[in-house]
Chain A
């Protein structure tokens, strides 16, 4: 759905993107993360066809963005970090304008405005001026404007910045819903804990280069999982039982054992049954997740020449 190939972008005196290549599948949500100044906003603007790279290609929905920007724009919704609104227009008129500017037919426009306003939970604000909205409501209106033409790709630059926890939770729900409708999203953000809730992949940009591109869901399914086991009381049999099982990196500290386990969920259920049947008083079996933040920090650290 989104394919970038050998993208190079330069500002006078600074290379903002250096041979950036990746492919993002349809109906995915990719977290675009990286330190400040890594090139995230530049990458989003190049994907949207707003800035032309020095070299390289961008393809969205099979359309070469650089050769046919206007065709590509029909498939793209973009919310910049410093988005603006027509403060003096009512929310309804903002949406009507966005819809008309995106080529929606008059016959369906009113219904679409109501639909997208309801989706973004600003249906009761349609008569209010955009300038009178709260930060969260303004953000939702801006997203509503970006998706009113039902784009197949939505690019969001720091969409959660400045939002209260309730609005952020609503935003997470919206992301999942849009993905469910088949939309491909790229979300640049520094709030990794929230990205983790809905992202299916992570793209780490550092010093203008992609240093990590991984699919979060696939990685979780395929990777060796770290398991933490805790007994209700100390048992001498624990080491013997665990020693006979296909585990690795086993560490036992009193009633707590940590180990790596390569089996799937069914195998994990079997493991638990084995432990219980062996008479061990298991009170906790927990899979330790490497959070998005951990993965990000690891990727950045490795790229800086730190621990591998």
Chain B
């Protein structure tokens, strides 16, 4: 745990902390603080300037540096040497998490010093600091994780560079405004009712940032383990989904559901299960497009499963598959709960909707996999995305334009699929997609 003895951290420090940079950073922050001191209350005082600079320099710019550092490693061809090194997964995680953005952290120290010198010590001043620190770790870990995931999808391909950079920019642009708004905007005031407890919004944001930090660092650690050739099943991913289920339950129990109009009619337990099923389905879609659909690995998984080596097969299971299995379980649980807790017709409608959503998940999964069951997988996901756009938007759009609204709704199940009858055309689509994927599977070279 000694950071100074962490080879990865030291290497980054050697590369990033040059004498010129060590002098320039405090000089620039000092100049900005001077300007701030002159403007004073118009910008919220030096305290606010210190915190804002920390968010800008350490949280956001640091996230970019973290992503770039790992990306450079992958492109330069030094990654294999690291994978062969004697460093453990945790040592590597820590070294990269703190090492990649070490220069941003160096600047952040001056910002924090400015904040500490000008803020009155109280929970109200410590809380945003902790939120910003947690957000920094969470975002940095997420950037490193997204770079690794992008690389794993197409290893040894230079195309991972723009993709990883794209994800870097995307995350920064999505997260940055949200973070600013949560910390300083109108969202930072008020309360949240969660599991029947009234929690100050600022405290809740801190809790979310801390949880995000824990899970993103855990995710990075697990990705590092995979890179270091450890055989890990997707159990932590399943644990993460379970955590999301529990976390989301806070909005269903001990509070009125009036402000959650989608689930207005359902009992809290049933409504919560519906959300859990949706979360698992979204996770399955996200991982389906994020992970590499390596059919050699899938074939191995099937062979291991058939030969009774279930544990080894579970180790090879992709996360999209684990998510899909959980989605099926949660949908079944929701359907059963709906039939028990809701009026008979509502229960059937809920079960039909769940079945329709699952059928669409299977249909879409079959399309994505079928297109990936080929020698050259480079454009398979893009093609699948295009076909799904046609199925979800263009085709129903055309049918709608020609006045065939009833037919159009077959491609948008949520709105109408609350009767068993509507499952028939949806299941037909799924059957066609499954036939497609099975044929492609059988056509794969031996």
Contacts and interface: CB of A to CB of B under 8 A. Distances in A.
Interface of A: 10-14, 48-50, 52, 54-55, 69-70, 73-74, 76, 78, 80, 82-89, 93, 97-98, 100-103, 106, 145-146, 149
Contacts of B14: 89, 93, 97
Contacts of B228: 69-70
B81 interface: yes
B445 interface: yes
Contact of B374 (A12, A52, A102, A103): A12
A73 B7 contact: no
B235 interface: no
Interface string B68-93: 00000000111111111111100000
Interface string B227-238: 011100000000
B12 to A, nearest CB: 10
Interface in B398-446: 444-445
Nearest to A9: B296
Contact of B229 (A52, A78, A82): A52
Contacts of B197: none
B64 to A, nearest CB: 18
B81 A145 contact: yes
A116 to B, nearest CB: 15
Nearest to B294: A12
A73 B78 contact: no
Interface of B: 5, 7-8, 10-11, 14-15, 76-88, 228-230, 294-296, 300, 374-375, 377, 444-445
Contacts of B300: 54-55
Nearest to B296: A10
Contacts of A54: 296, 300
Contacts of B85: 73, 98, 101-102
A83 B77 contact: yes
A97 B228 CA distance: 18
Contacts of B84: 48-50, 73, 76, 78
Task: Give the 9 A-B CB pairs with smallest separation, nearest first.
Answer: A84-B77, A13-B375, A100-B7, A69-B229, A103-B86, A101-B85, A84-B78, A84-B76, A101-B7
Nearest to B79: A84
A47 to B, nearest CB: 11
A76 B77 CA distance: 18
A131 to B, nearest CB: 11
9 contacts: A13-B445, A14-B375, A70-B88, A70-B229, A80-B80, A85-B76, A100-B7, A101-B85, A102-B85
Contacts of A88: 15
Contact of A50 (B15, B83, B294, B296): B83
A54 B83 CA distance: 20
Contacts of A101: 7-8, 81-82, 85-87
A54 B316 CA distance: 11
Contact of B80 (A50, A86, A102): A50
Nearest to B91: A101
A73 B7 CA distance: 17
Nearest to A73: B84
A22 B445 CA distance: 27
A99 to B, nearest CB: 8
Contacts of A52: 229
Given A11-B296, A78-B84, A89-B14, 19 more contacts: A12-B295, A12-B296, A13-B445, A70-B86, A73-B85, A76-B84, A80-B77, A84-B78, A84-B79, A86-B78, A89-B11, A93-B14, A97-B10, A98-B85, A100-B5, A100-B10, A101-B81, A101-B87, A102-B86
Contacts of B445: 13-14
A106 B2 CA distance: 14
Among A84, A88, A146, chain B packs the most CB atoms within 10 A around the CB of A84
B299 to A, nearest CB: 8
Contact of A73 (B10, B15, B86): B86
A286 to B, nearest CB: 46
Contacts of B295: 12
Contacts of A146: 81
A50 B78 contact: no
Contacts of A70: 86, 88, 228-230
Nearest to A149: B86
Contacts of B375: 12-14
A82 B11 contact: no
B338 to A, nearest CB: 42
Given A70-B228, A100-B7, A83 B294 contact: no
Contacts of B80: 50, 78, 80, 83
B86 A98 contact: no
Nearest to B11: A97
Given A82-B77, A145-B81, A89 B15 contact: yes
Contacts of B76: 84-87
A106 to B, nearest CB: 8
A74 B88 CA distance: 12
A83 B11 CA distance: 18
Contacts of A48: 84
Contacts of A49: 84, 229
A101 B83 CA distance: 10
Given A11-B296, A84-B76, A50 B86 contact: no
B71 to A, nearest CB: 13
A183 to B, nearest CB: 16
Nearest to B88: A70
B236 to A, nearest CB: 19
A250 to B, nearest CB: 52
Q: Which of B14, B82, B377, B444 has the most CB of A within 10 A?
A: B14
A275 B388 CA distance: 87
Task: Specify which of B85, B375, B445 lies most central, judged by the most chain A CB atoms within 10 Å of its CB.
Answer: B85
